[in-house]
Amino acid sequence: MAILDGKLTALDINDSIKEDILEYIALGYRVPRLDIILVGDDFGSKKYVEMKSKKAQELGIKGVVHTFDGDISQRELSDLIVELNKDEEVDGIMVQ
């Protein structure tokens, strides 16, 4: 029975993603972009978004964070998601 080394596996996966992104860019494609929407001021959520943003940068992905107070309306949030979804520069959207 083999024991899986989670840290080593994560490093291998990250290296593979970085290589894929570099190849993608070398072929003339643009840098991938992840937009993260943070609503509210929860400390844990802020830290999670910071970690995801930092990881995106480490992998060669452009990370854009949109920060809003907890009182943003559902309509405003939905409108932003629709706008980002239509943006051809955005490859992923994360809502926290």
63 class by beta-carbon count within 10 Å (0-12 exposed, 13-18 middle, 19+ buried): buried
Q: What is the pLDDT of residue 1?
A: 76
Residues 2-13, mean pLDDT to the nearest whole number? 92
**Reported pTM:** 0.87
Residues 12-29, mean pLDDT to the nearest whole number? 97
Number of alpha carbons in the 13 Å side-chain half-sphere of residue 83: 9
**pLDDT tens track for 40-91:** 999 999 999 999 999 999 999 999 999 999 999 999 999 999 999 999 999 9
Domain boundaries, the chain: 6-95
Cα(15)–Cα(43) distance, integer angstroms: 29
Return the CATH number of 6-95, one of 3.40.50.10860, 3.40.430.10, 2.40.30.10, 3.40.50.300: 3.40.50.10860
